[in-house]
Copies of this chain bind each other. A is one copy, B any other.
Amino acid sequence: MPDIDKSLIIKNISKHITLDNNEEKHFLSILKPQKIKKKAFLLKEGDICRATAFVINGCMKSFTVDKNGFERVLNFAPVDWWTADMFSLISQRAAILNIQAIADTQLLLLSKQDQEALYFQIPKFERFFRIIIEKSLVAHQMRVLDGLSLTAEQRYIKFCEKYPQLWNQLPQKEIASYIGVTPEFFSKMKRNMD
């Protein structure tokens, strides 16, 4: 794996916990690099999610497809974010989400098995994952409340604040799926905002 730079994940971890040299070496040794082409899937609805993924470069999106065939985007994972189908990861039941690359992407995968072992080998990883899951919970709580009380235009503004690196790079239909409107409504809304 000479071509994946792992310093980013160490920097990400060290925001919340401090690893000594041996711990860092062990942690890096259990990560599996994966390159994934634009539009390829890391996980499909119905599969079992067997790993948490960290994005080194590129971008992933997590979404469901409703009964009318519309994509409903739960979240995006740009560089320096973690992603997984948390329901499937913790229950080892069929995934609800599809997780797809929206650009050529490099990931580091931490398998469920290695993650569970890690909690015993280096217990401070319990702390690390508790803290990042707390942050993710807050983000999803905000998103529930935004969905209940904001207009589509306000939800678009929140999207731009949350993903400053994405708002002018993603296809409009992806953003429309995230804020919960049709692509047609989204273009009309954008024209009115300009």
Contacts and interface: CB of A to CB of B under 8 A. Distances in A.
Contact of A127 (B87, B126, B136, B147): B126
B142 A87 contact: yes
B145 A144 contact: no
A11 B11 CA distance: 38
A90 B139 CA distance: 12
A120 to B, nearest CB: 10
Contact of A149 (B66, B129, B137, B148): B66
A142 B144 CA distance: 10
Contacts of A148: 66, 72, 147, 180
Contact of A129 (B74, B130, B140, B141): B130
A64 B144 CA distance: 11
Interface in A64-109: 64, 66, 70, 72, 74, 86-87, 90, 96
Interface string A52-68: 00000000000010100
Nearest to A178: B148
A133 interface: yes
A119 interface: yes
A98 to B, nearest CB: 12
A134 interface: yes
A138 B90 contact: yes
B133 A137 contact: yes
Nearest to A65: B149
A26 interface: no
Interface string A137-159: 11011111101110000000000
Given A74-B145, A126-B126, A148-B180, 5 more contacts: A86-B137, A126-B130, A137-B140, A144-B144, A147-B180
Interface of A: 64, 66, 70, 72, 74, 86-87, 90, 96, 119, 123, 126-127, 129-131, 133-138, 140-145, 147-149, 180
